Amino acid sequence: MKQVELLVIGGGPAGLCAAISAAKQGAKVLVIDRNEMLGGQLIKQTHMFFGSEKQHASVRGIDICDVLLDEIKTLYHVEILKDTTVNAIYDDGVVTADMNGKYIKIKAKAIVVATGASEKTLAFPNNDLPGVYGAGAVQTLMNVYGVKPGQNVLMVGAGNIGLIVSYQLMQAGVNVKAIIDAAPSIGGYLVHASKIRRMGVPIYTGYTVKEAKGKDCLEGATMIKLDEKWQPMEGTEINFDADVMCISVGLTPLAELLWQAGCEMKYVGELGGFVPLRNEGMETSVKGIFVAGDVGGVEEASSAMVEGYLAGLSTAKYLGYTSYDYNAKRDDYLDQLDSLRSGPVGEKIRIGIEKLIYMNEAAASNNA
Amino acid sequence: MRINDHPVLEFKRGTKVTFTFNGQTLEGYEGETIAAALHAAGVKVLSHSIEHHRPRGFYCAIGNCSSCAMEVNGESNVRTCVEPLKEGMVIKTQEGKGDLL
């Protein structure tokens, strides 16, 4: 059995930041990731990030990944296991994993689960045809492997992912015929929407997919307008020829390990599905198990990174590593999260998170 | 269907390798995923659904949904969207649930 102080499950932006933050406080960290490349979803993000300088604003996602990995290389206490899939979390911090075919057992004093989220799907006739892909899948194919997903794309979903992937498709030389969204207005940032509109891509709000068509692969689709009660209106159908349909209707947390570990979970629609109850410092209802990033609530990369730093700080304290500037660091991370979640765009997240926090400051500082 | 000119990205591809897909010889790059290599070669149908025999391709492309499972070098149920391509791989569309052991 491999003994570790802090086990971070997931080497995406949240996990890497948790490892950096905890290691800087003195904790010894093991990061496990199921892929042969670290970085989670950052490795596909060719666009420049928002936020403040602390969150690497105006740096491309793929470059932020390198920045984080370079920083980890300078920290002595961080070990990394790639190509390793955690199978289960048992009692007493016992974790089992498949290390490239070999079954290993780990005993961790504290765990940060940063396993991210996965794409939701949409129900409509023939949604199983090859050519109907998640938007993230198309992004992986294009930006990581340099393969075009097809010639003509219909994008379903006008949230940030739908808008950004549409732009990236155009960048890669693929024609995006239209973006549709069932909601009456565009869900993503208008700066992305404007960019894509300037490239000549129409955005149809209030439309959903009626059905997809094709024999062996997708050949086209019909979309239909919805009324104010979200019911399809006959006679409003529009047909498109397309060999790719990107379904970008949201993500849902990959929370299986948290369920298994006995964490108290709650369904919060604003955050993508079932999420763990947690305190402000990112600790779940199971002592010693913390979360960071999309697994705790689907948001975006900048928040994932700050949550990672915060979770790393909290787990280090839990392990007994504190510092004179602990409170200042903690307040700074909390302020950064508040700032990222401020304004009308952050309203949904704020509502979702309010449903989650189950311990107040006073109770949380009992261990101080 | 490979992207060669991209405004932001430069694709560092590994060595070119050959592999077979249902007996047909195809080319790909070492280290890219099997699903990506097949897609680049124009292969989108990776299997057929078990009950209704409907054509099926990948969906999530990062190893979560299992839509992309194929038989690779005799092993069934390999998630081709995360499995790296190697020289000489024998890839076949899987019939049914495949060998579970």
Q: Are B80 and B101 in contact (CB under 8 A)?
A: no
Amino acid at B9: L
* Residue A367, pLDDT above cutoff 60: no
Bridge-based pairing of strands A175-181 and A203-205 is parallel
Q: Are A295 and A116 in contact (CB under 8 A)?
A: yes
Calpha distance B33→A136 (Å, rounded): 15
- Residue A53 confidence class, pLDDT cut points 50, 70, 90: low
Residue with tokens 């995360």, as numbered in its chain: B82
pLDDT averaged over chain A? 91
Structure tokens at B40: 């680049």
**What does the angle CA A79 – CA A80 – CA A83 come to, to the nearest 5 degrees?**
155
| Among candidate residues A145, A28, A21, the one with its CA nearest the CA of residue B12 | A145
- Residue A358 confidence class, pLDDT cut points 50, 70, 90: low
Q: What is the pLDDT of residues A56-113, one digit of tens each?
A: 777 788 888 889 999 999 998 899 999 999 999 999 999 999 998 899 999 999 999 9
Q: A133 CB near a chain B CB, below 8 Å?
A: yes
What is the pLDDT at residue A50? 63
Average pLDDT on A293-319 reads: 95
* Residue A225, pLDDT above cutoff 60: yes
Q: What is the pLDDT of residues B13-60, one digit of tens each?
A: 889 999 999 999 999 999 899 999 999 999 999 999 989 999 999 999
Amino acid at A252: T
**Residue A324 burial (10 A CB sphere; 0-12, 13-18, 19+):** exposed
- Specify the pTM: 0.90
Nearest CA-CA distance, residue B56 and chain A, Å: 5
* Residue A49, pLDDT above cutoff 80: no
The three state secondary structure string of A301-313 is HHHHHHHHHHHHH
Q: A46 CB near a chain B CB, below 8 Å?
A: yes
What is the pLDDT at residue A359? 53
Residue with tokens 């097809």, as numbered in its chain: A150
* Residue A6, pLDDT above cutoff 80: yes
Q: How many angstroms separate the Cα of A340 from the Cα of each of A54, A73, A114, A307, A358?
A: 11, 28, 19, 11, 21
φ, ψ for residue A163, nearest 5 deg? -70, -45
Q: What is the pLDDT of residues A113-139, one digit of tens each?
A: 999 999 899 999 999 999 999 999 999
Q: Are A40 and A15 in contact (CB under 8 A)?
A: yes
Structure tokens at A234: 């006959």
Mutation for testing the B interface, residue in A33, A34, A145, A244 having most B CBs under 10 Å: A145
Nearest CA-CA distance, residue B66 and chain A, Å: 12
Identify all chain A residues contacting B54, using CB atoms and an 8 Å cutoff: 128
What is the pLDDT at residue A331? 96
Nearest chain B alpha carbon to A139: B61
Any alpha helices (H) in A104-171, and if so which ranges?
A: 135-139, 160-171
What is the pLDDT at residue A363? 43
Q: Residues of chain B whose C-beta is under 8 A from some C-beta in A? A: 1-9, 11, 13, 32-33, 36, 39-40, 44-46, 49, 54-65, 81-82, 84
Bridge-based pairing of strands A251-253 and B75-79 is unpaired
Give the H or E element holding residue B21.
strand B16-21
**A247 CB-near residues (< 8 Å, 6+ apart):** A119, A120, A121, A122, A127, A132, A133, A134, A135, A156, A157
Question: What 8-state DSSP symbol labels residue A344?
Answer: G
Q: What is the pLDDT of residues A21-48, one digit of tens each?
A: 999 999 999 999 999 889 999 888 777 6
Q: How far apart are the first and last CA of chain B?
A: 36
Calpha distance A7→B39 (Å, rounded): 36
Considering CB atoms only, which of B8, B13, B36 is closest to A141? B36
Calpha distance A294→A225 (Å, rounded): 32
Calpha distance A78→A98 (Å, rounded): 20
Q: Are A253 and A356 in contact (CB under 8 A)?
A: no
